[in-house]
Structure 1
Amino acid sequence: MTQALRKLVTFDEFITWYPENSQRRYELYDGVIFEMPPPTGDHEEVVGFLTLEISAEIKRLKLPYFIPKTAFIKPLSGESAYSPDVLILNRPNLVHEPLWKKESTVSQTASIPLVIEVVSTNWRDDYLKKAADYETVGILEYWIIDYAALGGRRFIGNPKQPTISIYSLVEGEYQVRQFRSGDNSGERIQSSIFPELKLTAEEIFQAGNLPR
């Protein structure tokens, strides 16, 4: 995150304040509005690649899911709102989301089978705060795509290398399995939400124009 507007606001105030048709992205962290760093071209290529691959799988399996352009996840407690890089929504449950129609916001476990964050300079948020809040919401699966190895060594190992961390909810807690560049980059990603998805870590890393 780059710039913080330090006045504490509520979620409702944040939504009212949010600039219409803004070219910038903002998120709310415990009542503080943060401007997100502008994405790089590599970041957007990874996001675009994942969006296309997962959309194709949704269509192939005729699942009642879709990927919105812009939407917020609001944990039920606290004043936070996150706009993930890739958000998979379960359309049938949206009728139970009171904030969906007017504010494109979801909070319920049944609405959010999968969230993907592609790591940028604010990597601590992805590995620490968002992981904790997504676990609390009860999101079944959370992917962290660290294609440029920006995260701390305690998260992606030493020496640092491109890493995909897949957090799966087991008895209310996240358990993580990692896929790294080199050692198991050709192994198929294991997803409980899309168990037939034929996608490897190397394919995702290459989407960001990393050396092959």
Structure 2
Amino acid sequence: MTSMMTWPNHLLSLADWDALPEDNTHRYELAEGILQVSPRPVPNHQWAVMQLAFQVGPQLQADLGVLSDVEVVIVGGSPATVRAPDLVVVRTAAAKASPARFAPDDVLLAVEVISPGSRRTDRVTKFNEYAEAGIPDYWIIDLSAPVSVTAFQLIDGNYELNAGTDDVLSVTTPVPLTVKVRDLLP
């Protein structure tokens, strides 16, 4: 007999989120207390995240690090919002503490790779949530041909276009970084 998970019938707090059973078969996020479930990323998505981490990591100073698929508390109250960006640049001190999830103040850059079904969420919802949380930089990677990266910088509480390309991305925030966009996919 197969056991079935009982889904919450109320808006979730962080404590409710923590109490959910572990399940690595899907990707979970919490949006204003509502559990959002999506399939695990496809190989090209994962490849792009890994290649980006390989390119960004060596360019970071010692007090910064790059991590993939970690949780960031956007709103800690009830109802809570917890997102799992595809990649983040965080302060090394915060990463060494190995938190269950990061505070937005620890995140200097959040990166989302668009997946089937996530285009609006990545371009509108998370775009606004990350800005409201005060995350200084946000990148959106679109794997549709040609692969492109659009980089936004937080200015006066709103994201403004910093750079966008399908060739070589060069930015100065959160730190000077250069990314060969065409190398993100095999």
| Shorter-chain TM-score tier | 0.7 to 0.9
Cα drift, residue 56 of structure 1: 1.4
Q: Which moved more, 1:46-55 or 1:6-15?
A: 6-15
Quote the RMSD (CA, aligned, Å).
2.5
SS at match of 1:199: strand
Q: Take 1:19 and 1:85, find their aligned partners in 2: how far apart are those partners? A: 19
Look up the match of 1:115: 110
Give 1:1-150 correspondences, 5 Å limit. 7=9, 8-19=11-22, 22-58=24-60, 61=61, 63-76=62-75, 78-92=79-93, 101=99, 104-109=100-105, 111-121=106-116, 122-148=118-144
Q: Take 1:140 and 1:43, find their aligned partners in 2: how far apart are those partners? A: 24
Indicate the structure with greater strand content: 2
Q: CA 1:145 to 1:70, structure 2 compared with 1: closer, same or farther past 3 Å?
A: closer
Asked if 2 retains the 8 angstrom alpha-carbon contact of 1:117 and 1:145, the reply is yes
Look up the match of 1:193: 174
Identical-pair percentage: 19
Give 1:154-193 correspondences, 5 Å limit. 162-181=147-166, 185=167, 187-193=168-174
Q: Deviations over 1:17-39 (max 9, x none)?
A: 0416x232211111111112221
Q: Take 2:158 and 2:115, find their aligned partners in 1: how far apart are those partners? A: 25
Q: Take 2:112 and 2:172, find their aligned partners in 1: how far apart are those partners? A: 15
Indicate the structure with greater helix content: 1
Asked if 2 retains the 8 angstrom alpha-carbon contact of 1:163 and 1:178, the reply is no
Q: Take 1:94 and 1:51, find their aligned partners in 2: how far apart are those partners? A: 15
Q: CA 1:105 to 1:202, structure 2 compared with 1: closer, same or farther past 3 Å?
A: same
Asked if 1 retains the 8 angstrom alpha-carbon contact of 2:153 and 2:161, the reply is yes
SS at match of 1:19: coil
SS at match of 2:40: coil
Cα drift, residue 171 of structure 1: 1.8
Asked if 2 retains the 8 angstrom alpha-carbon contact of 1:189 and 1:201, the reply is no
SS at match of 2:74: coil
Structure 1: segments with no counterpart, 5+ residues: 150-160
Cα drift, residue 139 of structure 1: 0.6
Large movers: runs of 4+ above 6 Å: none
TM normalised by structure 2 equals 0.81
Q: Take 2:20 and 2:8, find their aligned partners in 1: how far apart are those partners? A: 14
Q: Take 2:68 and 2:107, find their aligned partners in 1: how far apart are those partners? A: 15
Aligned length: 176
Equivalent position amino acid for 2:85 in 1: P
SS at match of 1:133: helix
Q: Take 2:157 and 2:179, find their aligned partners in 1: how far apart are those partners? A: 27
